[in-house]
Amino acid sequence: MSASRSARRRRMSDTARIYGVGDSTLQALGGEAAVAALVGRFYAAMQRLPEAQRIRAMHPADLGEARDKLTTFLIGWMGGPKRYRERFGPISIPGAHRHLDIGPEERDAWLLCMATALDEQGVDAELKAYLLAQLRHPAEMCRRR
């Protein structure tokens, strides 16, 4: 690890945490494996939460591709390797969800699933609040009504 990177990590641990700079968010969560685990918890919450049944019905029975896409997207979104485009094509969050009837209830159910997954993963309150605040924008972009 370079001296400047080591100093930056020390500053981050000594003061308020910094997210959204480089891969700081990804590292704070625990890296790529932690993102994959989070996505697994997210879809498990979607399966079982009564508030999420409408959005679960919008997905195919086999969630494998959805898990892969969300994991790949979130890794890049959190500052990690940007592999989504090479694997799945250009990212257009509103375009990918245009065919779905998404309103405030569905947006909120999606965010509830993510909040539940973050809680189950034991993500600290500061990082959880940051992630949910940042994810609210793309979730809102998916609304059609």
Per-domain residue ranges of the chain? 23-142
Q: What is the pTM of this model?
A: 0.87
pLDDT digits (tens, 9 = 90+) for 67-99: 999 999 999 999 999 999 999 999 999 999 999
One-letter amino acid for residue 120 of the chain: E
- Average pLDDT on 91-114 reads 96
pLDDT at position 16 is 66
- What CATH code is assigned to 23-142? 1.10.490.10
